[in-house]
Amino acid sequence: MEEFVGELWHKLITRQARTDFEAARVQLSELQTQLGLYFRALGGDPGKGLEGADSRLLETRRRLVQRLAGTHRRFPVCWQDERSLRLPPSIACFPEAELNTSLYFWLTALSAQLPRIGHWFVDNQRATLALLEKRPGLAEGYWRLADATLVSRPSLDTLQGAEREREMVIQQAIRQPGSVDRLPLAKGDPLPVPLWVYPAPLRALAPSTRDDLEDQGDGSRAEESLEGSRKQAERFDDSKQTDGLLVFKLECLFSWAEQVELDRCQEENLEEDPGSAAEDLDIISLSRQRRAGAARIKFDLDLPAPQQDDLPLGEGIRLPEWDHRRQALINDYCLLQPMLADDALPAPLPEHLRRQARQLKDRFALLRPERRMQRRQPQGEEIDLDAWMEFCTQPTRAETCHNLYLDRSQPHRDLACLLLADLSLSTEAGLGGDQRVIDVIRDSLVLFAEALSGSRDPFAIYGFSSIKNKQVRYQLLKNFGERYGDEARGRLLAIKPGFYTRMGAAIRQSTAVLQTQKASQRLLLILSDGKPNDIDRYEGRYGIEDTRQAVLEARQQGLQPFCVTIDDAGNDYLPYLFGDRGYTVISDPDRLPVMLPRLYLNLTGNGR
């Protein structure tokens, strides 16, 4: 009964404390693609992604009912850093959904105008004025949002002293941007202005100790994704702490207190539900001690046992990596390890692919150049009798004639292709039923190889995954010098997902391999299911910039990079990586095995 009454009381108080408009709520996920294009069109950094912002703790003045309900302590405000633009996951500030949608577009435009913030109060006014002058078409929408925002601000009659003066100044800054250059000091924080962009959260200083380069991130804070939002994590320097000596006083064992047995029907067990506990924390502390106990939330980073792993080829290849903050390559930063599945057995073509493979092979066989006879050549396999008789019967013939032979040489197509497949752990994801992404990629690679074996175009297939910069696994599936057959097909059918996606190093090595081919057209096809990522600094902006630099390096070497992805969000970041015409997004993964050979025909100028 007590629980029932408590639930009713909680719902009543929470409903009375609400100031948002649930019926008019607009979700960021519904507008994310449009906002990404809008942000870049207005001059925003093309390398930034769009993410939902965490709620920020602010000490604002609250009404009694809000204090009883425990609400209005956290507010999702807009902010950005060098990696992403963070917008509220949803907006219900105004009673009309149209206004809430307009607010998303206004915040996106203002963020493009204001990439960095020195003082949030002054800079937002200046950026608003500059944006309205530069884009006068936004003025009408801004004034509508400003009027609706002023209605939702605290009434001046309810405030006194410095708080009233501060609120008056904020409202004046909304009505007349640029008219106020100083914000009066007052107790607590002012109610957030939904029209403005806020500074990034404060960063803590790095501890005195540091990890090795291969294990450290961008700084003292890391971020981990929990339930669609990002939690900030702070490194805690406990590397010099010891377990210590347990000291207690014997007299503490005696007590005058009397034991009372209580039955707690609901007991919080943080070990069984660490995710919900993490949601309640603003900052998550991460230990630097490598001997710290295993966490309940963790990744499996263990490598396979040597006897179960693929065969490493050589000692590995050291490759550079692009650091966008320094605008320079870090030499020998990545260790790429070529791998060969030596235990993969030769395999025939799977039954479910035979019909499609036969059709593709027949179609691609039409691309094979026919062997033609070339007459009157300076050299060849046999004498051209017509040319010889003409030479002998001409009274004014020259003393020497070299064009007396027949040449039956086989012409060839002057192109080469390397297909680089993402074999990261994300390809383990299911697509429905028993089928996974890796199954679709496996079928696509097999059909692609069957098709190109019909045209006899030189091709190679490699796969890649990574575990930080110290091991980028580069899987040899079929090289240029190997004839496609049961052995190569067995390696393709034996691929399995694992680890992460350090794409820049794999592209650089593929560029070096493809450069060994003398063809005039060299195509680098990249098959992926998501963004570049790894568990170190490669997550986010760093990985995006390194991949983009690797693509630019490939183009400078005369290669033609092209990305094929099944990631629905690919349109948000692939234009920045590969250009508007350097990628394609296949919305239905089941069509990938058939679409990949067709894309090859279009890219090599043989589409029909």
Q: What are phi and psi of 460, to 5 degrees?
A: -140, 155
DSSP string, 359-415: HHHHHHHTTSPPP--EEEESS-SEE-HHHHHHHHH-TT--S-----EEE-PPP---E
Residue 288 confidence (pLDDT) above 70: no
Residue 446 confidence (pLDDT) above 90: yes
Residue 290 confidence (pLDDT) above 50: no
Least confident of 185-194, 243-252, 312-321, 568-577: 243-252
DSSP string, 280-337: T-SEEEEE--TTSPPPSS----PPPPGGGSPEE-SS-EEEEEEETTTTEEEEEEEEEE
Average pLDDT over residues 64-91: 85
Q: What was the pLDDT predicted at 187? A: 87
Of the pLDDT bands very low, low, confident and very high (cuts 50, 70, 90), residue 301 is very low
Q: What was the pLDDT predicted at 372? A: 60
Please indicate whether residue 268 or residue 607 has the higher confidence score (pLDDT).
607
Q: What was the pLDDT predicted at 205? A: 39
Residues 6+ apart with CB under 8 A from 330: 320, 321, 322, 323
Residue 113 confidence (pLDDT) above 50: yes
Residue 511 confidence (pLDDT) above 90: yes
Q: What was the pLDDT predicted at 57? A: 85
**Region for 178 from its dihedrals, namely left if φ exceeds 0, alpha if ψ lies in -120 to 50, beta otherwise:** left
Residue 300 confidence (pLDDT) above 60: no
Residue 293 confidence (pLDDT) above 60: no
Whole-number Å distance between alpha carbons of 492 and 463: 9
Mean model confidence pLDDT for the chain: 81
Cβ atoms of 319 and 270 closer than 8 Å: no
Report the amino acid identity of residue 391.
Answer: F
CA angle 228, 466, 518 (to 5 degrees): 125
Whole-number Å distance between alpha carbons of 208 and 426: 35
Average pLDDT over residues 568-583: 90
Least confident of 74-83, 248-257, 499-508: 248-257
Q: What was the pLDDT predicted at 312? A: 86
Please indicate whether residue 120 or residue 173 has the higher confidence score (pLDDT).
173
| Furthest C-alpha separation in the chain | 136
Residue 307 confidence (pLDDT) above 60: no
CA angle 200, 204, 210 (to 5 degrees): 125
Q: What was the pLDDT predicted at 186? A: 87
Q: What was the pLDDT predicted at 224? A: 42
Whole-number Å distance between alpha carbons of 589 and 602: 19
Q: What was the pLDDT predicted at 17? A: 75
Whole-number Å distance between alpha carbons of 582 and 575: 8
Buried b (16+ CB within 10 A) or exposed e, 486-514: eebbbbbbbbebbbbbbbbbbbbbbbebb
Residue 134, token pair as written in the block: 């530069």
pLDDT above 70 as % of the chain? 77
C-alpha 14: how far from chain center: 38
Instruction: For the chain, report the end-to-end CA distance as a whole number of angstroms.
Output: 73
Least confident of 105-119, 205-219, 312-326, 523-537: 205-219
pLDDT above 90 as % of the chain? 40
Whole-number Å distance between alpha carbons of 310 and 474: 11
Q: What was the pLDDT predicted at 479? A: 93
Whole-model pTM: value is 0.61
Residue 270, classed as helix, strand or coil, is: coil
Please indicate whether residue 438 or residue 243 has the higher confidence score (pLDDT).
438
Report the amino acid identity of residue 411.
Answer: P
Q: Domains in the chain, start-ordered, CATH in brackets?
A: 2-175 (no CATH), 202-237+279-289 (no CATH), 322-366+413-603 (3.40.50.410), 374-407 (no CATH)
Please indicate whether residue 73 or residue 416 has the higher confidence score (pLDDT).
416
Q: What was the pLDDT predicted at 16? A: 78
Report the amino acid identity of residue 579.
Answer: G
| Pairing status of strand 84-87 against strand 90-91 | unpaired
Of the pLDDT bands very low, low, confident and very high (cuts 50, 70, 90), residue 399 is low
Of the pLDDT bands very low, low, confident and very high (cuts 50, 70, 90), residue 286 is low
Q: What was the pLDDT predicted at 217? A: 44
pLDDT (tens digit, 9 = 90+) per residue, 456-487?
889 999 999 999 898 999 999 999 999 999 99
Q: What was the pLDDT predicted at 159? A: 86
Compute the CA torsion angle 594, 599, 602, 603 (nearest 10 deg).
-150
C-alpha 177: how far from chain center: 37
Of the pLDDT bands very low, low, confident and very high (cuts 50, 70, 90), residue 412 is low
Q: What was the pLDDT predicted at 10? A: 72
For residue 583, list its beta bridge partners. 563
Residue 168, classed as helix, strand or coil, is: helix
Beta strands in 483-604 (DSSP E): 521-528, 560-565, 583-585
Look at residues 175, 176, 154 and name the one whose alpha carbon lies nearest to residue 165.
154
Of the pLDDT bands very low, low, confident and very high (cuts 50, 70, 90), residue 234 is low
Residue 557 confidence (pLDDT) above 90: yes
Residue 387 confidence (pLDDT) above 90: no
Please indicate whether residue 284 or residue 389 has the higher confidence score (pLDDT).
389
Which DSSP category does 428 fall into? G
Please indicate whether residue 530 or residue 378 has the higher confidence score (pLDDT).
530
- SS3 sequence, 472-513? EEEEEEECCCCCCCHHHHHHHHCCCCCCEECHHHHHHHHHHH
Look at residues 337, 264, 346, 268 and name the one whose alpha carbon lies nearest to residue 304.
337
Whole-number Å distance between alpha carbons of 213 and 415: 40
Residue 204 confidence (pLDDT) above 50: no
Of the pLDDT bands very low, low, confident and very high (cuts 50, 70, 90), residue 146 is very high
Beta-carbon count within 10 A of 233 CB: 18
Q: What was the pLDDT predicted at 308? A: 55
Report the amino acid identity of residue 157.
Answer: D
pLDDT (tens digit, 9 = 90+) per residue, 1-37?
667 777 777 778 777 777 888 899 999 989 988 998 8
Q: What was the pLDDT predicted at 69? A: 77
Cβ atoms of 404 and 390 closer than 8 Å: no
Q: What was the pLDDT predicted at 238? A: 56
Residue 272 confidence (pLDDT) above 70: no
Of the pLDDT bands very low, low, confident and very high (cuts 50, 70, 90), residue 350 is very high
Cβ atoms of 25 and 100 closer than 8 Å: yes
Q: What was the pLDDT predicted at 368? A: 72
Highest mean pLDDT among 119-128, 290-299, 375-384: 119-128
Whole-number Å distance between alpha carbons of 249 and 106: 64
